């Protein structure tokens, strides 16, 4: 079998891609790797608390490794930290790195080139699959998730903290990708076929946060964008890393 690690965000695309990989007899997923903002103790971009991702890993029964990052790391700092982590994984016998990316060509190329430089192969189980069909499959397979981050440019506050279900999908504007592949929204998955038990949590506050745009990269059709705004729904793990026993039928 091929030893791999999975780049785990805790969201729906990660869950679907990992589910596909776990069913593929060719691969053995040794580790989950999550980028963590050490200053806030939250998953980078998604804003999910560290302990919730730890609870996911316990339920999935795959060891979790975190890439510890500063509050606002530069690209060079991020790449150095990531490559050091990948080299450590290689020493453990891991040869492949799996992602939940679907259609962003530039991102796929970037990942492949960086990993190829250290002789690690990239795997994309969901690549080029129809995003509307993926969302339907996510729901049909019994996964459950909640939106934890929403880009205010694409969706209003009402979409933050919502369950991912058929109503959510039908309410999405036509301009938004069904899987949020362009960064329109991010999710936290708390139940599904990859979990031995669902994760128990409580919904906290919904807040809006503004961030400065990366230099020389942020622009729209009207001109330069100097900031980005996001809505975040805080999730609180109930009673430590405790999982819910599934009801017996």
Q: Cα separation of 162 and 152, whole Å? A: 15
Mean pLDDT of 61-78: 91
Nearest residue to 123 (alpha-carbon basis) of 16, 17, 31: 17
Q: What digits encode the pLDDT tens for the residues 200-235?
A: 999 999 999 998 876 544 334 444 667 789 999 999
d(CA 85, CA 81) in angstroms, rounded, equals 6
Residue of 129, 220, 224, 209 lying closest to 177 (CA atoms):
129
Report how far apart the first and last C-alpha atoms of the chain are (Å, whole number).
35
- Is the pLDDT score of 170 beyond 50? yes
Backbone angles phi, psi at 89, to 5 degrees: -65, -35
- Fold of the 2-237 domain: Rossmann fold (3.40.50)
Average pLDDT over residues 166-171: 98
Please determine, for residue 126, whether its predicted confidence score (pLDDT) is greater than 70: yes
pTM above 0.85, yes or no: yes
- What are the sequence ranges of the domains in the chain? 2-237
Q: What is the pLDDT of residue 215?
A: 57
Average per-residue pLDDT for the chain: 91
């Amino acid at each position: 079998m091929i030893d791999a690690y999975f780049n785990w965000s805790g969201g729906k695309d990660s869950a679907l891609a990992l589910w596909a990989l776990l069913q593929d007899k060719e691969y053995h997923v040794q580790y989950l790797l999550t980028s963590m903002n050490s200053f806030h103790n939250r998953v980078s971009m998604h804003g999910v608390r560290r302990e919730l991702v730890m609870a996911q890993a316990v339920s999935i029964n795959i060891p979790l490794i975190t890439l510890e990052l500063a509050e606002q790391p530069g690209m060079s700092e991020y790449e150095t930290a990531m490559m050091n982590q990948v080299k450590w994984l290689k020493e453990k016998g891991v040869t492949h790195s799996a992602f939940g990316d679907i259609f962003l060509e530039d991102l796929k190329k970037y990942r492949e080139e960086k990993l190829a430089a250290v002789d690690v192969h990239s795997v994309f189980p969901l690549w080029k699959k129809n995003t509307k069909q993926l969302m339907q499959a996510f729901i049909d397979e019994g996964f459950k998730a909640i939106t934890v981050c929403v880009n205010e440019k694409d969706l209003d506050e009402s979409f933050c903290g919502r369950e991912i279900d058929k109503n959510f999908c039908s309410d999405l504007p036509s301009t938004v990708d069904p899987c949020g592949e362009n960064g329109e929204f991010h999710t936290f998955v708390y139940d599904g076929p990859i979990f031995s038990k669902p994760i128990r949590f409580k919904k906290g506050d919904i807040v809006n946060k503004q961030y400065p745009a990366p230099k020389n990269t942020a622009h729209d059709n009207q001109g330069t964008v100097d900031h980005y705004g996001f809505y975040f729904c805080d999730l609180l793990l109930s009673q430590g890393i405790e999982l819910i026993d599934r009801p017996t039928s």
